[in-house]
Amino acid sequence: MKRLTMLVVFVVLGAACWGGYWYWQQQGNSAATEAGAAGKGMKGAGKKGGGPVSVSTVSVKRQPMPVIIDAVGTVESEHSVAVRPQVNGTLEAVLFKEGDRVKQGQVLFRIDSRPMKASVDQARAALARDVAQLKLAQAQEARLRPLADKEYITRQEYEVAATQAKSIEATVAATRAALDQTQLQLNYGLIMAPVSGRTGSLNVKSGNLVNGGTGGAPLVVINSTQPILVSLSVPQRFLEDVRRAWNTPELKVEISPNPGTPAVAEGALVFIDNTVNTQTGTIVLKARVRNEKEELWPGQFVAARIVLRIEPDAITLPERTVQPGQDGSFVYVVRDGRAQIQNVAIARQIGETVVISKGLKGDEVIIAEVPPTLSPGAQVTVRGPGTEGSAKERGKGKGKAEIEGKADTPKESAAK
């Protein structure tokens, strides 16, 4: 009996303990659920009722901006001369160094002149002989003339003497011409620079036998570099704009070694080709550049910018302010303390500045860098000066890449 009573007591105590544990677990889960719901509600309430977005702004600028055409150019020498000998002989001396700048008339090569001097001496002696014979024949003709007039001799005898004098006179003229020719050959022994410019590599060294004429390799090639020409291939759609701006003081060409780098030289357009390339749809223009410091080199590829005219009152913005969109480029305009989307059309981009052709009047305030949390219609507060730098670095890359993909490039929009 005692055992049965103790067993019942233990069962009752166990049931009581289990009931208490179950009740405690239910109370804990309910409290956690209520706390989670309260946290979510507070978070949602905070998001829905968040404060204004802090932004930096810039004002739209009206300023003179050039209307440009970007092109790739090739530098050409205005005068390129292949120097060749005009007489045969041994190259005795080279009087300059490869790559030197030479002036027109400067002696570059000297050919062994001894054979040519001998020819000159021979021609001079032949001339002296013929001159002496001419004097003798003229004296004979002078003695016979009065005798023929008095008919002491026949007329035929006098005419023979006169003809002989004239024949020797012609011989003297031919001999004198031969002397001039040999003297000219002697002068050709000194090879001079036909133009001023920069010399190239030597193809023949001193001591070699050279032959006169146009065959074979030249001794050296001289390219003029001051001034120099830049040949440009421009799409044919810009031809009318170029012709309209021809001979105006604003028309100029700026030359840079690479795209996006500062210009190192400036020149003027001097040539428009008389035909359009039917295969590429481009036309060739040429600009003459003074090239005083020889920044440009013949054969060099360069980036050229043709400035057609200056637009005096262009609407401009920093490139970083323009955002890409499905419907084209747009900016965020601050109106009544809120951010509003404004679609814009970009005419061209010059450096980090874009020219707006449509969408802005010129008096708007534009958000400089768009924060990720900014949405159309959101309330904004403008940060003070000095807080724009970090945002500028964050937003610059994306805006530029997207503008290049969506907006007109300067090359395509220069004539707009």
Q: How far is CA 253 from the centre of its chain?
A: 9
Q: How many angstroms separate the CA atoms of 245 and 247, rounded? A: 6
Pair type for strands 209-210 and 220-223: unpaired
CA torsion through residues 253, 257, 261, 266, sign? negative
Residue by residue, DSSP assigns 241-274 as HHHHHTT-TT-EEEEESSTTSPP-EEEEEEEE-S
Q: How far apart are CA 406 and CA 234, in angstroms?
A: 23
The CATH number of the domain holding residue 246 is 2.40.30.170
Residue 169 lies in a domain: yes
What CATH code is carried by the domain that includes residue 368? 2.40.420.20
Q: Among 295, 310, 325, which residue terminates a domain?
A: 310
- Do 210 and 91 fall into the same domain? yes
What gap in Å lies between CA 125 and CA 61, rounded to an integer? Answer: 87
Q: What is the pLDDT of residue 9?
A: 56
On whether both 279 and 403 belong to a single domain, the answer is: no
90 shares its domain with 213: yes
Tell me whether residue 24 is in a domain.
Answer: no
Residue 330 lies in a domain: yes
Please state the domain count of the chain: 4
Question: What string of DSSP letters covers 294-329?
Answer: --S-TT-EEEEEEEEEEEEEEEEEEGGG-B--TTS-
The pTM score is 0.65
| 214 and 92 in a common domain | yes
Non-local (6+) Cβ contacts of 140 within 8 A are 161, 164, 165
Q: How many CB atoms lie within 10 A of CB 105?
A: 10
Residue 44 lies in a domain: no
Residue with tokens 């002491």: 152
d(CA 327, CA 27): 56
Helix axes 155-188, 114-149, angle to 10 degrees: 160
Look at residue 36 and tell me if it is in a domain.
Answer: no
The confidence score (pLDDT) of residue 214 equals 79
Nearest residue to 240 via CA among 65, 66, 414: 414
How many secondary structure helices (H) and strands (E) does the chain include?
A: 6, 22
Q: Please calculate the CA angle 339-344-348 and round it to the nearest 5 degrees.
A: 135
Q: Is 14 inside a domain boundary?
A: no
How confident is the model at residue 398, as a pLDDT?
A: 39
> Which own/partner pairs from 94-98 qualify as long-range (CB within 8 Å, at least 24 positions apart)?
94/202, 94/205, 94/206, 96/199, 98/199, 98/200, 98/201, 98/202, 98/220
pLDDT given at position 299: 94
**Do 321 and 386 lie in a common domain?**
yes
Side-by-side strand order, sheet with 57-59 = 57-59, 365-367, 330-335, 338-343
> In this predicted structure, what is the pLDDT of residue 23?
59
Separation in Å, CA 39 to CA 33, 43, 44, 214, 404: 10, 6, 9, 96, 45
Q: What is the largest CA-CA distance in the chain?
A: 204
Q: Are residues 175 and 243 in the same domain?
A: no
pLDDT at 5: 60
Give the per-residue pLDDT at 18: 60
Residues 212 and 104 in one domain: yes
Beta pairing partners, 57: 367
| Domain range for 155 | 114-188
Q: Tell me the average confidence (pLDDT) per consecutive run of 10 residues in the chain, 416 residues long.
A: 56 61 53 38 38 89 92 94 93 94 95 93 94 91 85 84 91 94 93 95 92 86 95 94 92 91 92 94 95 93 94 92 90 91 90 90 89 88 55 40 37 41
